[in-house]
Amino acid sequence: MALRYSREHQWIDGTDASAAIVGITTFAQDTLGDIVFVELPEPGKTFARGEVAAVVESVKTAADVFMPAAGEIVEVNEALRADPSLANTDPQDAGWFFKVRLSAPTELDELLDAAGYEAVTAEG
């Protein structure tokens, strides 16, 4: 499955059946400005879809990172914790936040595809 997007500006890559990768979108990063700190979830913790799983702080504000689909955190991006600027320079690749073992993979079907997300961001 290709990338899917939440209306809260998270992306999720569910192509790996063992663990989906989650991060913030380029749109979110552009809106936040320079990210200077990330608070990542603990591996082993489970979240329902829509729950706050992480927090980002930028020079402008702090923002919650919501779970786009329910599951258990299996890995966090320690490189991002050490260098939050990865979320600025490469939010949709090296700046990923965490990997999650999905408990309800069908929830991905309820998220936006690229065209749908682009339409949401164009609305402002």
List, as one string, the DSSP characters of 43-100: TT-EE-TTSEEEEEEESS-EEEEE-SS-EEEEEE-HHHHH-TTHHHH-TTTTT--EEE
Whose structure tokens read 């890995």?
75
The reported pLDDT for the residue numbered 124 is: 63
pTM, whole model, 2 decimals?
A: 0.94
Give the model's confidence band at 25: pLDDT under 50 very low, under 70 low, under 90 confident, else very high: very high
Q: What is the DSSP string of 90-102?
A: -TTTTT--EEEEE
pLDDT tens digit sequence for 51-66: 999 999 999 899 999 9
Radius of gyration over every alpha carbon of the chain, rounded to an integer in angstroms: 13
Give the model's confidence band at 16: pLDDT under 50 very low, under 70 low, under 90 confident, else very high: confident
Return the higher-pLDDT residue of 14 and 74: 74
The full set of domains in the chain, from first to last, is: 4-122 (2.40.50.100)
Question: Measured between alpha carbons, how far is 49 from 104 in angstroms, rounded to an integer?
Answer: 9
